[in-house]
Structure 1
Amino acid sequence: MPVELRKRKAPAPPPEPPAKKKQGKVAKAAAKVKEVVKGKTAKAAAAANGSAAAVAEKLVPPAKPAAVAKSAAPAATAGKPAIGDIISLDGFGGDIVDNDGAKTSLKTLVDESKAGVVLFTYPKASTPGCTRQACLFRDSYTPLTASGLSIYGLSTDSPKANTAFKEKQKLPYPLLCDPTGTLIAAIGLKKAPKGTTRGVFVIDKTGKVLAAEPGGPDATLTVVKKVVEALNDEAPAAVSKGEEPPVVDAEVLADAQPEADEKKEAEPPVAAEPVSEPVSEPVSATAVEAVAEEKTNGEPAKLEEKPVVEEKKDE
């Protein structure tokens, strides 16, 4: 049978997209306003986030690296020495020089002293206040050093300036030169940002701080006088407490005994002084006659028993 071929219907074309509506002027203006508002909102949010982060960073600073924190620790713990503190003198304050230019350090000065060191600081040599301070310590030098303390002036002046100052005022103690201010800073008398605060620092042989404070010329001398008085009051008690009776060795005493005996035998005997006995006075003839007369009258004679000395006849 013959096959009939049927034509398939062509597929329907896709529907055309709807035509965009033309935006009016009002719609365009509204869209622009929305875009501007969105941009400002985003900027404000970003600014707010940034300020919040800055505030948080200020309140909670970022952690320092371990190496930096470790190196900063000694500077935080280091401070001004206070009365009663015992400091280690090895390397304390660095090296300085005296007015003759000889290199020294606080440890060396303490080791060379008998009881400790007094450092009075002054801002500048040969100025009125510093001259008064230096002369006050000069006039009290003997009583202050009687306790064993060594007196030194300390400033940032050069050796030449301090030498001229020392010779002009006839100071009996050395003047120390600390141009970089390392020792002055270590004892807590450096003025910020630079300079020297007038004051006094006293330390004993053990490294114990006895005085550390700023003050004027008279005040610094008064502080040292009080320290000296305290040392003088403690000295007798310490000596009496530390004294012990001498220990005598028995063998030494035995060896010394024969020598003492020989010395005693060699000495000539001392003659005893004669003791003078009382000598009775002789009874005179008149007293004898008085006794006889009393017997004739019948009264007993009251005479002491004394020996009668007979008169010697002339031969």
Structure 2
Amino acid sequence: MDFLTPRGLSPYRLFTVEEWSHLRADTPMTLTAADVERLQGLHDPISLEQVETVYLPLSRLLAFYVEGAQRLHTATNRFLGRDDGKIPFVIGIAGSVAVGKSTTARVLQALLARWPRSPRVALVTTDGFLLPNGVLEAEGLMERKGFPQSYDRQALLAFLTDVKGGKKVVTAPVYSHLVYDVVPGEYVTIEAPDILIVEGLNVLQTNRPPRDGKAIPFVSDFFDFSIYIDADEEVIHDWYVARFMKLKETRFRDPRSYFHPFAHISEAEALALAERLWDRINRVNLRDNILPTRPRADLILRKGADHAIETVALRKL
């Protein structure tokens, strides 16, 4: 795998899908083929077999992590002589545009919520914390949408601080992919979940450590476990372009769509536009901001050109 160090050293344990699938043990399959079809994203197919061989073992691993975190929290409270109540276990999911983060997040949410104790599993995307288009336009950042500087970082950190502080009800802004903007005055309410999944392009991003040693929190500081969805750049490019062409024939035709003006251009023009957007924005973001965060993940799911996960890398403890 290309994230091994030059001498073949790695902080990860590497598994083929066959090896990983055996770690499912006796974990029951709780999703149907219809469930999986409903959870998959546009142009991001996922099979029931992949759920059984990859995501089901992952849900079992996460069950152990959640139980361990809860025991540690209880022990810490006992030591401090206090009771902070329930603190959610936070899972971060990172990766490029079009790589399948949203599908992974939804599948994991569905699997985790079907554990025997039926935990409350919430899901938020960092898209809601993007600065509104008006602000991005005023600051000349529209072509840097999705880059670290395009987010309201303070609002995102405040949200995660409240979550990890045990606040029972927190809210997150809502983003509409149809209008390509944050929806004013609309929020999703998160009420005391056992598990919170946070999905976004740059959730594993860090800043340069301050020379004065003052604390500057990162989004990932609030994660208990992190996942990076990986694939070759050329493969992600092909997925992005194919998805754009599919959207041209579907969602872009809605008059409310931000991209509606492009719904009726020729196929050749649409293809050229998709290539420009990839070259100027998404490839740059992948190379400069997203891919460099891959080594910070606890788990790396590596996909092949057919969208199927081919290898799993789990960070050694």
Length-normalised TM-score, structure 2: 0.21
Point out the structure with max Rg over C-alpha: 1
Greater RCO, 1 or 2 (C-alpha within 8 Å, sep 6+): 2
Comparing both structures, which one devotes a greater share of its residues to strand? 2
